[in-house]
């Protein structure tokens, strides 16, 4: 029993002593089994795109593989890959890089490149877009690099001898001035047009401010864009040549260049017919006549610069200037002013009696300027014109006189004497500045006589009468609006103005 107890204690003592003793482990006793090698022959062009990918001596996981480099220094380089390896869920390309170095990189670090399909061409093309890249080789092909944008080559002509399909698009090879051969997306080009010129002799007016100007017809060899017609809208021009282009007919304007026919309104000779009418029937000095088409500025005139007593057409300056003050915000339509004796006592005041209704209103009453503007136009209100001159024109101030002088093109100090041309310029200025005045001119107490009487279209006009004088000046809202201004004396009368207006309309309509 004692012997058995002793043996038991010795065993326990041995076991307890062995807990703190080191256990020796043989090096490499546990190893990872290498991946089965699987190589595949390939033939692809690729571009190294990503940094920090490891370069291995063998595909990662293959027996004996080692890290020998990383991809950072070689990003952007292109390679032709002949061998690929599969390692688990990854694939690796074998590349020769640097100076005689070689190794394996995960395929995720690369972008596959296209191998372009080439075709021989012989096309005359013009580079028309500046939004494309210029490449050393077709996009997404081996050794393709961006050199620049096409902006610096717009309107240059090239003979394209080769094209390539690459990266899902077509590219043209062109030779730059420095003899370098480069590639550009075919969408940046247009084919040069077959040239077809014709000598012409046409008068017209430029009607567009945005039409393109070229040194030669659009898409003709040597044609270059030089700007727009922004500074030439309304300009009368002489056309000497026409040409057919992919964008339609182009006209040559001497001293300007080539522009689309659609941007020019050819002279229809209608105003010449109006002038012949005036020459044949209205030569009498009893007339002062001025006609101007608003679209192109063409005019016809008979004694158009002869001064007549203005009568109520002399109210046009006050109407124009009051509307200008309203448009500029210096006066509101609702601004109310006092009807007082001072308005009739200015040096340029009309006699208050005669036409109009303001003369019957009490002194001290306030009126919106809009009401008086309407009465002055629609009722030819004499005292209303004084009201406008006093409040709208600041008592015919020097600023107002300067503005009216600018409109009529001469020094203006008084409404008393005026020519048909002066009145035409004033009513055109009223028309162009807009506001309520042009609308009021289309609805007056005198719309059944003179200029509007026989016309089937709206007319905005201002009449004037005094003794033997009968005047009218208006905007005729024909298909192409025009101004007609007629001054008469020696009892020429309303009806002759109406007949003249009808004759002019029948030509210009």
pLDDT in tens, 180-233: 999 999 999 999 999 999 999 999 999 999 999 999 999 999 999 999 999 999
Alpha-carbon span 340 to 346, nearest angstrom:
12
| Per-residue DSSP letter, 364 | T
Given a cut of 50, whether residue 130 has pLDDT beyond it is yes
- pLDDT for the residue numbered 296: 83
pLDDT digits (tens, 9 = 90+) for 37-74: 999 999 999 999 999 999 999 999 999 999 999 999 99
CA-CA-CA-CA dihedral for 422, 428, 433, 439, to nearest 10: 120
Q: Which helix (H) or strand (E) holds 459?
A: strand 459-466
More confident residue, 13 or 358: 358
The pLDDT value recorded for residue 6 is 38
Matching fold, domains 197-266 and 274-508: no
CATH number of 274-508: 3.40.710.10
- What is the separation of C-alpha 97 from the centre of its chain, rounded to a whole number of angstroms? 52
Check whether domain 117-191 has CATH 2.30.30.170, yes or no: yes
Supply angle C-alpha 94, 97, 98, rounded to 5: 160
Instruction: Lowest mean pLDDT of 11-20, 163-172, 325-334, name the range.
Output: 11-20
At residue 187, the 3 state secondary structure works out as: helix
**Mean pLDDT of all residues in 246-263:** 96
pLDDT of residue 35: 87
pLDDT of 31 over the 60 cut: no
Burial state string for 479-496 with b = 16 or more CB within 10 A and e = fewer than 16: ebbbbbbbbbbeebebeb
Q: What residues contact residue 404 under an 8 Å CB cut-off, 6+ apart?
A: 317, 320, 321, 412, 426
260-270 mean pLDDT? 92
Q: Is residue 492 within 8 Å of residue 287, measured between CB atoms?
A: yes
Q: Where are the alpha helices (DSSP H) in 396-476?
A: 398-408, 420-433, 437-440
For residues 306 and 4, the model is more confident at 306
Helix (H, G, I), strand (E, B) or coil at 206: strand
Contact in structure between 436 and 370 (CB atoms under 8 Å): yes
What mean pLDDT comes out for the span 340-360? 96
Q: How far apart are the first and last CA of the chain?
A: 145
Report which secondary-structure segment, H or E, holds 226: strand 225-228
Helix (H/G/I), strand (E/B), else coil: 66: coil
Q: For residue 33, what pLDDT is reported?
A: 59
Among the four given CATH numbers 2.30.30.170, 3.40.50.720, 3.40.140.10, 3.40.50.970, the one describing domain 197-266: 2.30.30.170
Grade residue 497 by pLDDT with cuts at 50, 70 and 90.
Answer: very high
User: How many other C-beta atoms lie within 10 A of the C-beta of residue 328?
Assistant: 9
Contacts of 39 (CB under 8 A, 6+ apart): 83, 84, 85
Q: What is the pLDDT of residue 2?
A: 39
Average pLDDT of 94-115? Answer: 96
The β-bridge partners of 228 are 212
Cα separation, 432 vs 428, in Å, equals 6
Taking residues 355-362, what's their average pLDDT?
96
Sorted by where each begins, the domain ranges of the chain are 39-112, 117-191, 197-266, 274-508
Q: What is the pLDDT of residue 467?
A: 97
Over range 104-116, report the average pLDDT: 98
**Does 108 have pLDDT greater than 80?**
yes
pLDDT score at 34: 72
The hierarchical CATH code for the domain 39-112 is: 2.30.30.170
Residue 419, pLDDT above cutoff 90:
yes
């Amino acid at each position: 029993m004692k012997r058995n107890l002793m043996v038991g204690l010795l065993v326990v003592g041995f076991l307890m002593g062995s807990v703190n003793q080191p256990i020796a482990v043989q090096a490499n006793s546990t190893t990872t089994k290498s991946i089965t090698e699987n190589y595949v022959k390939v033939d692809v062009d690729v571009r190294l795109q990503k940094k920090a990918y490891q370069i291995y001596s063998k595909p990662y996981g293959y027996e004996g593989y080692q890290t020998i480099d990383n991809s950072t220094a070689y990003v952007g380089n292109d390679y032709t890959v002949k061998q690929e390896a599969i390692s688990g869920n990854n694939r690796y390309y074998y590349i020769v890089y640097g100076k005689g170095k070689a190794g394996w990189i995960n395929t995720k670090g690369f972008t596959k490149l296209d191998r372009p399909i080439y075709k021989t061409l012989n096309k005359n093309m013009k580079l028309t877009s500046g939004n494309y890249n210029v490449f050393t080789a077709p996009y997404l092909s081996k050794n393709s690099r961006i050199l620049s944008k096409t902006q610096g080559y717009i309107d240059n002509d090239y003979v394209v001898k080769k094209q390539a399909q690459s990266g899902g698009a077509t590219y043209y090879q062109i030779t730059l001035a420095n003899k370098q051969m480069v590639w550009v997306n075919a969408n940046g080009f247009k084919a040069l047009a077959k040239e077809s010129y014709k000598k012409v002799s046409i008068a017209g007016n430029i009607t567009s401010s945005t039409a393109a100007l070229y040194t030669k017809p659009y898409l003709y060899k040597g044609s270059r864009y030089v700007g727009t017609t922004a500074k030439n809208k309304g300009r009368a021009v002489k056309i000497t040549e026409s040409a057919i282009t992919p964008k339609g007919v182009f006209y040559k304007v001497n001293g300007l260049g080539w522009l689309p026919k659609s941007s020019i309104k050819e002279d229809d000779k209608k105003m010449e017919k109006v002038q012949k009418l005036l020459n044949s029937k209205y030569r009498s000095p009893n007339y002062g006549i001025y006609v101007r088409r608003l679209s192109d500025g063409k005019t016809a005139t008979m004694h158009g610069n002869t001064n007549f007593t203005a009568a109520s057409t002399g109210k046009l300056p006050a109407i124009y200037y009051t509307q200008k003050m309203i448009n500029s915000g210096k006066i509101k339509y609702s601004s109310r002013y006092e009807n007082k004796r001072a308005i009739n006592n200015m040096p340029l005041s009309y006699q208050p009696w005669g036409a109009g209704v303001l003369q019957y209103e009490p002194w001290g009453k306030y009126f919106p300027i809009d009401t008086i503007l309407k009465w002055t136009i629609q009722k030819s209100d004499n005292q209303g014109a004084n009201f406008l001159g006093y409040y709208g024109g600041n008592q015919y101030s020097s600023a107002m006189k300067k503005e009216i002088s600018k409109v009529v093109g001469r020094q203006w100090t008084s409404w008393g004497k005026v020519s048909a041309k002066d009145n035409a310029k004033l009513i055109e200025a009223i028309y162009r500045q807009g506001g309520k005045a042009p609308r009021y001119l289309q609805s007056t107490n005198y719309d059944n006589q003179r200029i509007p009487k026989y016309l089937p279209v709206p007319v905005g006009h201002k009449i004037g009468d005094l003794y033997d004088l009968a005047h009218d000046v208006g905007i005729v809202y024909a298909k192409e609006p025009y101004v007609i201004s007629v001054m008469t004396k020696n009892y020429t009368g309303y009806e002759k103005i109406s007949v003249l207006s009808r004759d002019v309309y029948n030509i210009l309509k």
